[in-house]
């Protein structure tokens, strides 16, 4: 999958930079989660190489350009999101 990154800032989230994800989850410092296409229900767990120390993360968000085999991993700062860049990775998906 193509895995990009974002943070909760206005540059990344635009009008949706209110500290909540699409499923209504309130973002906390240190959180790790993913924005994915709606074909992956909220709560679906994913293992993304190089992200969250190899621990699974849940789908808690959506994105305007997150379609098909594209994911957006969450970081707390814009700098961290930019450092991630764009990566093409194998992702393991665990269904609910």
Domain holding 45, by residue range, is 2-94
Q: Are 20 and 57 in contact (CB under 8 A)?
A: no
Give 66-95 pLDDT, tens digit per residue.
999 999 999 999 999 999 999 999 999 986
Query: Could you give the CA distance from residue 14 to residue 2 in angstroms, rounded to a whole number?
Result: 22
In this predicted structure, what is the pLDDT of residue 96? 60
| Range 19-36 average pLDDT | 95
In this predicted structure, what is the pLDDT of residue 5? 97
CATH classification at residue 23: 2.40.40.10
Structural domains in the chain (count): 1
Whole-model pTM? 0.93
pLDDT-based confidence at residue 53 (cuts at 50, 70, 90): very high
Query: Could you give the CA distance from residue 5 to residue 95 in angstroms, rounded to a whole number?
Result: 22
């Amino acid at each position: 999958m193509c895995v990009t990154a974002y943070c909760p800032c206005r540059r990344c989230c635009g009008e949706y930079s209110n500290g909540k994800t699409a499923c209504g989850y309130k973002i906390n410092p240190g959180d790790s989660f993913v924005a994915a296409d709606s074909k992956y229900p909220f709560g679906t767990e994913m293992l993304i190489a190089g992200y969250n120390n190899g621990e699974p993360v849940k789908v808690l968000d959506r994105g305007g350009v997150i379609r098909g085999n594209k994911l957006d991993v969450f970081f707390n700062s814009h700098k961290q999101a930019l450092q991630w860049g764009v990566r093409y990775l194998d992702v393991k998906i665990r269904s609910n």
